[in-house]
Amino acid sequence: MYTNEDLRAQIIYIVKHKLRIIDDAFMKKVFEGHDECIELVLQIILDKPDLKVISSSVEYTISGFQGQEIRLDIIASFDGKIVNIEVQRSEQGAGIKRARRNSSYLDANQSDIGRYGEQLAETYVIFITEKDKFRLQLPLYHIERCLMETGQAVNDGAHIIYVNGEYRGDDAVGRLMHDFFCTRAADMNYRVLANRVSDFKESDKGVSDMCESLDDLMQLVQERFKNQGINQGRAEGRAEGRAEGKAEGKAEGQSEINALNRILIKAGRFDDLARATEDAAYQQQLMAELLPTA
């Protein structure tokens, strides 16, 4: 099991040499409070070189029609339009119904929409995915409502766009996706993004800030993994019906969780670490995927 010093050293190494904009924790730090970075992304994806972001928020909590809340990676506005950007490595988290849900939340949070909704703002939900979502080797996939009989768009103002993170064409989108997967600022194409990445990888303050964010996550992960290991051990001990079974079950459960923890830390998969603390089924899925079988 890692000591605190081991964990800290591993996190510093990951920050400096492994993290990329496509990684959730790093993406949020890069874009937080920096409209110019979000502006660049939108200018390229929407093909609007003169676009100016009016406002933006990272990890924005938004309510739906029934008062249920979801957290968006990025929300921004420009020229009266509202944009949600999601950066997603997992294919499971990039489903089309999630995009539809996010779009509906953007609508639900608007006021003064008119009696018949005629004043609803134009909205964009943009998913930047690690893999080619639709496997057609295209840079962008635009999803619009249309008349099925003719294929004509109905232009209701709701747009969904998937960006292919695997695309590396010699154009603006290809260069942007290259930058999203770079571990070094020096290798990036767009200076506004490179400068921000450099802030968190090459300055002592930036590295420290990034490590603190990951430290908070790791403390949460360790505490919840510890509790899960104890609970799993107790359950197995009761099933065995003897004290030594309880101890053995507890040790075995904690050992598996520690092994998974180490693998995910080394790979920089902090998104999976965080999700595993909340979702026992997903934790078991990761164990089946990553841990050697007996």
How much of the chain, in percent, has pLDDT values that exceed 90?
A: 53
Residue for token digits 């953007």?
A: 106
How many independent structural domains does the chain possess?
2
CA distance 280 to 268: 20
**Domain for residue 170, yes or no?**
yes
Taking only the tens place, the pLDDT of each residue in 274-294 is 677 667 788 888 888 888 875
**Domain for residue 5, yes or no?**
no
Residue for token digits 């104890």?
A: 230
**Res 71: pLDDT:** 93
Least confident of 16-25, 85-94, 200-209, 221-230: 221-230
CA distance 64 to 103: 10
Residues 124 and 47 in one domain: yes
What does the pLDDT average to over 29-49?
97
Residues 28 and 115 in one domain: yes
pLDDT at 10 over 90: no
Tell me which DSSP letter residue 292 carries.
P
- The domain in which residue 96 lies consists of 20-182
Angstrom distances, CA of residue 83 to CA of 27, 29, 123, 158 = 17, 19, 6, 10
Residues 109 and 170 in one domain: yes
Residue 140 pairs in a beta bridge with 163
**Domain for residue 198, yes or no?**
no
Segment holding 193, helix H or strand E:
helix 191-202
**Domain for residue 244, yes or no?**
yes
What six digits make up the tokens of 46?
């929407």
**Domain for residue 77, yes or no?**
yes
**Domain for residue 225, yes or no?**
yes
Amino acid at 216: D
**Domain for residue 8, yes or no?**
no
pLDDT at 54 over 70: yes
Tell me which DSSP letter residue 150 carries.
T
Residues 33 and 64 in one domain: yes
Residue for token digits 């995927």?
A: 289
Residues 178 and 213 in one domain: no
